[in-house]
Amino acid sequence: MQRRPVRSTSLKAVGYEAATQTLEIEYRHGGLVRYAGVPAAIHAALLQLPNKALFVEQVLERGYEREQVRG
């Protein structure tokens, strides 16, 4: 999955695969987390919001299956 850089103090890049509704977040510290079952609208919202880390904490971590891929 290709990830694109984002403006954030803690997130480095975000990737999304619509066919599987899989979202990947790469952190500046080197960690990589994958979320399953994420609708395209949630991915789009993440890219638009200024506080991406807060969105991840409040929406993704509480509502979607999380897999720690790295870090």
pLDDT, tens digit only, all 71 positions of the chain: 899 999 999 999 999 999 999 999 999 999 999 999 999 999 999 999 999 999 999 999 999 999 999 98
Q: Which two tokens stand for residue 4?
A: 């694109």
| End-to-end Cα distance, the chain | 18
How many Å apart are CA 1 and CA 9, to the nearest integer?
22
Side-chain-facing half-sphere of 35: CA atoms under 13 Å:
23
The domain segmentation of the chain, as residue ranges, is 3-70
Contact 16, 23 (CB under 8 A): yes
CA angle at 58 for the pair 9 and 40, rounded to the nearest 5°: 85
Q: Using one digit for the tens of pLDDT, what is the confidence trace for 32-42? A: 999 999 999 99
pLDDT at 71: 82
Per-residue confidence (pLDDT) for residue 22, from 0 to 100? 99
